[in-house]
Amino acid sequence: MNRAREPIGVIGTGYVGLVTAVGFAELGSEVWCVDIDAAKIERLRAGDVPIYEPGLDELLAANAERLHFSTELSEALEHTRLLFVAVGTPPTHSGDADLSAVHQVVDAMPAWDTSQAGQRALVMKSTVPCGTGAKIKRIFREQGKSGFSYVSCPEFLKEGSAVRDFLHPDRVVIGDEHDWAGEAVAALYEPFGAPLVRTDVASAEMIKLAANAFLATKISFINEIANVCEEVGADVVEVARGVGLDARIGPRFLQAGLGYGGSCFTKDVSALKLLAANSGYHFQLLNAVIEVNELQKRRVVSKLQRHLSSVVGKRVALLGLAFKPNTDDMRGASSLVLAARLHAEGAEVRAFDPVAAEEACRLMPNLEVAASALEAVADADAVVLVTEWPEFLELDWKQVAAAMRGELVIDGRNVLDADAVRSAGLAYEGIGRGPIEHPSEAGAATRVGERAEG
Q: Which residues are catalytic?
A: 264
Listed residue (33, 55, 53) closest to 45, CA to CA: 33
Listed residue (89, 172, 173, 171) closest to 136, CA to CA: 89
With b for 16 or more beta-carbon neighbours within 10 A and e for fewer, the 319-352 pattern comes to bbbbbbbbbbbbbbbbbbbbbbbbbeeebbbbbb
Strand (E) or helix (H) holding 368 = strand 368-369
Distance between CA 416 and CA 425 in Å, rounded? 15
Number of C-beta neighbours around residue 357 at 10 A: 18
With b for 16 or more beta-carbon neighbours within 10 A and e for fewer, the 157-183 pattern comes to bebbbbbebbbebeebbbbbeeeebbe
Distance between CA 246 and CA 431 in Å, rounded? 22
Q: What is the DSSP letter of 37?
A: -
Number of C-beta neighbours around residue 29 at 10 A: 22
Distance between CA 301 and CA 341 in Å, rounded? 7
Listed residue (428, 429, 385, 376) closest to 404, CA to CA: 376
Distance between CA 277 and CA 165 in Å, rounded? 32
Helix 201-232 × helix 132-142 angle, to 10°: 150
Residues across the chain? 454
